[in-house]
Structure 1
Amino acid sequence: MPRPTAGTAGTTGKDRKLAQTYRRFAEVDAAKISPLYERIALALSESDDALGAIETLPARKRHPALVLAALHNLALTGHAQPLATAYTAAAAASRHTTPPGPAPTSAPTDASAPSDASARTDAIARTDATAPARADALGQADAVVRADAAANAAIGTLVGMTEAVVDVVARRKVRANVAGNHAVLYPAVAEVARRVGASSVGLIDVGCSAGFNLNVDRVGITYGNGQSLGDPSSPVQSSAAVVGDLPLPMQAMPEVVARIGVDLEPIDTTDADEARWLRACLPPDQPERIARLERELELAAMAPPFLMQDEAVEVLPDALARVPVDALPVAITTWALSDLVLESRLRFLQRLDEAATERPIAWVSVEGVGVAPAIPTFGDRHASGHSIIGLAVFNHSTLHAEAVGRCWLRGQMLAWLTES
């Protein structure tokens, strides 16, 4: 079977290090999510021409995920049509394959094969039963061929359009995991509003990225224990497994009267270029993730958030002030505080406290163990592999902070650990 063009043996030490980076990405990172990107990253690691093109990028812009996203962006914009065609073919082929199973058993063909009609019918039936396996084997082979063709097209695009790739990576960063964390946030926001007695809330998503968290009230959510929340007719439907004996709180989300995103580099999803970049950050052979993103974009377009570009600690007072006075401001952080040093995290807490002189201020946090200041940890160790769901209410210089649950896999599994 043909393989993408590989490099020669005469690579430099620097090239070898870059090649190792791309091979490791293929074997460790891409292998978990995208067979297509696994193949392309491996091909790039084996091509001297591709490695030479990557070497022209700024050192901090050579990460495989960013280069692959830049190539995908060129395909989506129509500037790299051969690559776009190869990606479409590879993605289509991957959708029609399943993991290989046991080798099919052939019907007897030697001189001892049954000669009576009934036995011949049975033999034909056994032969026909192998047809799906043979078809799937052919599909697997076709998927590999298509992936190799896409890898060759990626190398050709990278080498032939190096300046265009440089232009993309110079002004972009990878936007991974931008989907809303609705399954975790919905019960937490609704519960903190119930505790305060709020009939409306203003959501402030700190580290908002694309701001999809701000549509948490407009999605439908099903949980593995049979519970459901939100709008079953929403274009965005989320799900999560639930562990433990306690049910999730079932309060409906109060009216959301403000949607405010705070980020150093917020993404305006109403901008066609920004929305396309989000698509480019997903591998072409991940149809479920792509479809989820399209639905999130559709929902966001119906009620675009107000975006504030600045350091969270600096702009937080202004963001809180934008929430109408008769609504409860709810700051949301989902794996955002780990980007801040401890001093900044404590300052973030102080900002919330300072804003609570005239009305309550709430904070819903989903952060690694010990990352969110003042939120208890159930005694869990740091870097335990899960996150703590925390609720905090600031009111007239008093703070009530509680850990209400744990979650894993960025909210795909959660345990509610307090009585509502």
Structure 2
Amino acid sequence: MTEALSIRYQRFAATEARGRSPLYEALALGVANDGAILTLLAALPLEKQQPNLLFAAVRVVAGTAAGFSDFRNRLLSHANAVCSLMLRRRTQTNEPNRCAVLLPLLARLPGPLALIEVGASAGLCLLPDRYGYDYGSVTLPGMPVLHCRAQAPLPYRKPEVAWRIGLDLDPVDLADPAEVAWLEALVWPDQPERLSRLRQAMTAACADPPSVVPGDLRVDTIRLVAEARQYGTPVVFHTAVLAYLPDAAERVEFGRLVMEAGAVWISNEAPAVFPAIARRVGSPAPDRAFLMAQDGVPVAWTNPHGSWITWIA
């Protein structure tokens, strides 16, 4: 059990943290070689052993560590509180900059739009019409301004959104300071620009909060599509969410049901989440890229946090 965990943390260090977060790369490598921590994690359910969940929980309970030795002391000194928090929480990173890669698709759909985001967290990605955008050659007004390097057909307007709703197993309430603190802890500590953007987006959302309701995407999405249809073009979208459905057949069935219900389906996930869609591209994925597709057709490679988009010809 601990051997598999060690490999998981080594892989996180190499494929996710390296080049993005020197601190989290060091922490992941340290955990991968620490028997006491691996034993602690092995006692948790498999879905609660994630690096991001562990690192955020330690930050909330014991503060941000300066390095692995400091992290180890903080974790083992507060092990019960950290594990308790990990059992209660999920990784619900709500990165508003993902709207910058969604916008080129959303802007070309017939409006007005009725947006449904599954795995919505606090719903910050339900507000693409409120944010500003800077694609270099094209800028659109709004706050906060989301920056994105784009090799794609750029939108010259924001879509009209007539209705929006999010679905999440455990919605994040932006009026609750503890919930806000959890969202902030999920931002990697050596990426201050992401934290600043998150805080600006939360301020914008609090002025007119999007509705995010509790529910299971496998059960409740189609009901929301039926409701959305009276307001405009129903659009179901998700980013870094369907990977949490371990059954590949369930993921495929989800997309089929969404399209069968008459909604536009926009998926923005790691290529391995929908291998049949990835095979349609015919070329290898850029390093650590997500694949965005509309109704199962590949459209673009994207950065997981929305900092760049490259159209697929």
The normalised TM-score by structure 1 is 0.61
Q: Counterpart of 2:126 in structure 1: which amino acid?
A: L
Quote the Cα distance in structure 1 between the aligned partners of 2:35 and 2:75: 12
| 1:406 corresponds to | 300
Higher CA-based Rg: 1
CA shift for structure 1 position 154: 2.1
Give unpaired runs (5+ residues) of structure 2. none
Q: Counterpart of 2:308 in structure 1: which amino acid?
A: M
- Superposed, 1:73-222 pairs within 5 Å as 73-74=60-61, 80=62, 84=63, 87=64, 147-148=66-67, 151-176=68-93, 178-193=95-110, 198=111, 200-222=112-134
- Superposed, 1:9-408 pairs within 5 Å as 18=5, 21-23=8-10, 25-45=12-32, 47-58=34-45, 60-74=47-61, 80=62, 84=63, 87=64, 147-148=66-67, 151-176=68-93, 178-193=95-110, 198=111, 200-224=112-136, 226-231=137-142, 234=143, 236-243=144-151, 247-254=153-160, 256-323=161-228, 325=230, 327-334=232-239, 336-337=241-242, 339=245, 340-352=250-262, 362-366=264-268, 379-381=280-282, 384-385=285-286, 387-390=291-294, 405-408=299-302
CA shift for structure 1 position 282: 2.2
CA shift for structure 1 position 290: 1.5
Give unpaired runs (5+ residues) of structure 1. 1-13, 75-79, 91-146, 353-360, 393-400
Quote the Cα distance in structure 2 between the aligned partners of 1:336 and 1:41: 22
CA shift for structure 1 position 367: 5.4
Quote the Cα distance in structure 1 between the aligned partners of 2:220 and 2:33: 47
Q: 1:191 to 1:25 in 2, by over 3 A?
A: closer
Q: Deviations over 1:73-113 (max 9, x none)?
A: 11xxxxx3xxx3xx3xx7xxxxxxxxxxxxxxxxxxxxxxx
Quote the Cα distance in structure 1 between the aligned partners of 2:310 and 2:5: 41
Cα-Cα RMSD? 3.6
Quote the Cα distance in structure 2 between the aligned partners of 1:402 and 1:62: 33
Q: 1:319 to 1:159 in 2, by over 3 A?
A: same
Q: Counterpart of 1:381 in structure 2: which amino acid?
A: G
8 Å contact from structure 1 (residues 53, 159) kept in 2? no
CA shift for structure 1 position 415: 4.4
The normalised TM-score by structure 2 is 0.78
Q: Counterpart of 2:105 in structure 1: which amino acid?
A: A
CA shift for structure 1 position 207: 2.9
CA shift for structure 1 position 186: 2.2
Quote the Cα distance in structure 1 between the aligned partners of 2:269 and 2:2: 38
Quote the Cα distance in structure 2 between the aligned partners of 1:322 and 1:33: 41
8 Å contact from structure 1 (residues 368, 383) kept in 2? no
Q: Counterpart of 2:131 in structure 1: which amino acid?
A: V
Quote the Cα distance in structure 2 between the aligned partners of 1:22 and 1:377: 26
CA shift for structure 1 position 23: 4.9
8 Å contact from structure 1 (residues 248, 416) kept in 2? no
Q: Deviations over 1:170-200 (max 9, x none)?
A: 112223463342212223222212xxxx4x4
CA shift for structure 1 position 217: 0.4
